[in-house]
Structure 1
Amino acid sequence: MSLLKFASMTCIALTLGACQSVFQPSVQKPLTFTADRSEQLKAGCSGQECPLVNIDTVHVADEPKLDALIEQRLLKMTVFSPEDKLAPSLEAYREQFLRTAESRNSSYLQAKVREQHDGLVIVELSSYLDTGGAHGIPGRGFINYSRQNQKEVTLQDMLVPGQENAFWAAGKVAHNNWLISTRFGNDPEFVKNWPFQQTPHVALLKDNVVLKYDVYSIAPYSEGHVELKIPYSRLRGILKPEWFPGRG
């Protein structure tokens, strides 16, 4: 091959590479989500006590892995016991629930985009199962989705190896700050009966890392889903550098 021909082919390859780079979607540009909301009553039923399923979710065409993950995580929130079987889709779950639901039973599922920053998409998941009792069963969860890696970021992915205890120690400080900021800080019985706990619900928000709690975990049902906020400044050496805002 002549030197001139080789140089020409190299230029073409470099040009194509540059074009691919230019036209490749940037992970820094926020994704566009479309809403998908529906509410369906049990067939043949009318009135306020009819069983219903309300689904309020989002879809994103540009990230099929995230789209599938949102549906899968919502479906997992419908499983409350080992006997419950995971439905293959939200549509199948709706049909299954309405087919067997009794009067005043209802199910609510929601997925909403809480934040997008630094190539991360933070999706907050909510569920509420009403079986006709005094209180329904609410659930919460997060998806921290890395567009760069095209996968969910788990707590193990977030932390420097060996720093899990240090992370929860920072969480305990956030819990103490929350107690001080509420009426509970001066209530020894509350502090004794509702101690700090770990939670599976962790979100890498832009301004802080949030720990979210299920009801009855660190406070009574009436307090809802408590959020504790850990400043990033407390997580140096604990959180991997790539997860700090502005450094992804």
Structure 2
Amino acid sequence: MSLLKFASMACIALTLGACQSVFQPKPMAFTQDASEQVKTGCEGQDCPLVNIDTLHFADAPQLDALIEKRLLQMTVNSPDEKLAPSLDAYREQFLRTAQPRNSTYLQAKVREQHDDLVVIELSSYLDTGGAHGMPGRGFINYSRTAQKEVTLQDMLLPGQEQAFWGAAKVAHNNWLIKTHYGSDPEYVKNWPFQKTPHVALLKDNVVLKYDVYSIAPYSEGHVELSIPYSRLRGILKPEWVPAEG
């Protein structure tokens, strides 16, 4: 039997997700674009600065545009604040109005590439001179074939959102036990489980990342919960479950 015929028969026997994992596509090429700029004419350690570390995908201009848009959305800190039209415009605007000890940091990095997905992790940090700055996080699950972001609603089978967050709550309980916070009734009362918009379809598990102050104090940073794919059978659409999961 030829290798091609054998592979075709294997794909018929396997689910779509398994076929995607058997035939791994070549990772998408990208370049890193990192820069740091201080306020013109300023000297010393307290000079305002902007650090931007982003990515460019030559074969996916839609992903480039999405990354820039999402990074810019992370710079908005009040309802009346307008979104800058570009990262360059944001840099100029921030440095023009920034006070000493003000700084901002934006980053996009590839967390994983597997099957049809490129998973981008986004980070931000704004320091306005207080005791500590305010960090932010986010994910983009980008489908190479559909050339668009895969949202949580895209991932789930119809009517399974409640079941998904039920599995997330189990992961949260496991985190409480692991960190020993679960034995502190006051902690459990003050920091209850919440939903998060930051969901990533990684190769080995589904990851949920939380903003600071959402389910834990600032000192805990961005809490990350993991849900095994085995717990999401009948909840996630099969095409988003890697064979190894």
Q: 1:80 aligns with which of 77, 81, 84?
A: 77
Is the 8 Å Cα contact of residues 24 and 114 (structure 2) preserved in structure 1?
no
Displacement, 1:84? 1.1
Does residue 185 of structure 2 align to residue 188 of structure 1? Answer: yes
> Are residue 95 (structure 1) and residue 72 (structure 2) matched?
no
TM-superposed CA distance for 1:58, in Å, is 1.0
Name the SS of the counterpart of 1:134 in structure 2.
coil
Q: Deviations over 1:136-179 (max 9, x none)?
A: 11110000000010000000000011110000000000001111
Aligned residues: 222
> Quick one: which amino acid aligns to residue 196 of structure 1?
F
The one of 235, 238, 243 equivalent to 1:241 is 238
Residues 178-233 of structure 1: CA deviation (Å, up to 9, x unaligned): 11111212211111111110000000000000010000000000000000000000
Aligned to 1:208: 205
Q: Which has the larger radius of gyration?
A: 1
State the 1:97 CA deviation.
Answer: 0.4
For residue 88 of structure 2, give the secondary structure of its aligned residue in structure 1.
helix
Runs of 4+ in 1 over 4 A off after TM superposition: none
Q: CA RMSD in A?
A: 1.2
Q: Cα distance, 1:27 vs. partner?
A: 7.6
- Distance across 1 between alignment mates of 2:243 and 2:37: 43
Distance in 2 separating the partners of 1:246 and 1:48: 51
* Correspondence 1:142 to 2:139: yes
Runs of 5+ consecutive residues of structure 2 not aligned to the other structure: 1-22
Unaligned runs of at least 5 residues, structure 1: 1-25
Bigger Cα displacement from structure 2, 139-148 vs 180-189: 180-189
Amino acid at match of 2:141: N
What is the match of residue 42 of structure 1? 39
User: Are 1:160 and 2:177 counterparts?
Assistant: no
SS in 2 for 1:56: strand
Q: Are 1:226 and 2:229 counterparts?
A: no
Match of 2:25 in 1: 28
Shift of 1:96: 0.4
Instruction: Check 1:27–1:146 CA distance in 2 against 1; reply closer, same or farther (3 A cut).
Output: farther
Q: Give the match for residue 10 of structure 1.
A: none
Letter in structure 2 aligned against 1:211: L
CA distance in 1, matches of 2:98, 2:176: 40
Higher RCO structure, 1 or 2 (CA under 8 Å, sep 6+): 2
Q: Secondary structure at the match of 1:161?
A: coil
Do structure 1's residue 62 and structure 2's residue 59 form an aligned pair?
yes
* Aligned 8 A contact 2:101 2:129 in 1: yes
Which residue identity is paired with 1:44?
G
Q: Following the alignment from structure 1 to structure 2, what is the Cα–Cα distance between the partners of residues 105 and 219?
A: 26
SS at match of 1:57: strand
Q: What's the CA shift for 1:246?
A: 3.3
Q: TM-score, normalised by structure 2?
A: 0.89
Equivalent in the alignment of 1:71: 68
1:52 and 2:49 matched = yes
> 1:97 is matched by which residue type in structure 2?
F
Q: What is the SS of the residue equivalent to 1:46?
A: coil
Cα distance between partner residues in 2 of 1:148 and 1:124 = 20
What code does the residue aligned with 2:220 have?
E
Hey, what does 1:122 align to over in structure 2?
Answer: 119
Q: 2:171 aligns with which of 130, 155, 174?
A: 174
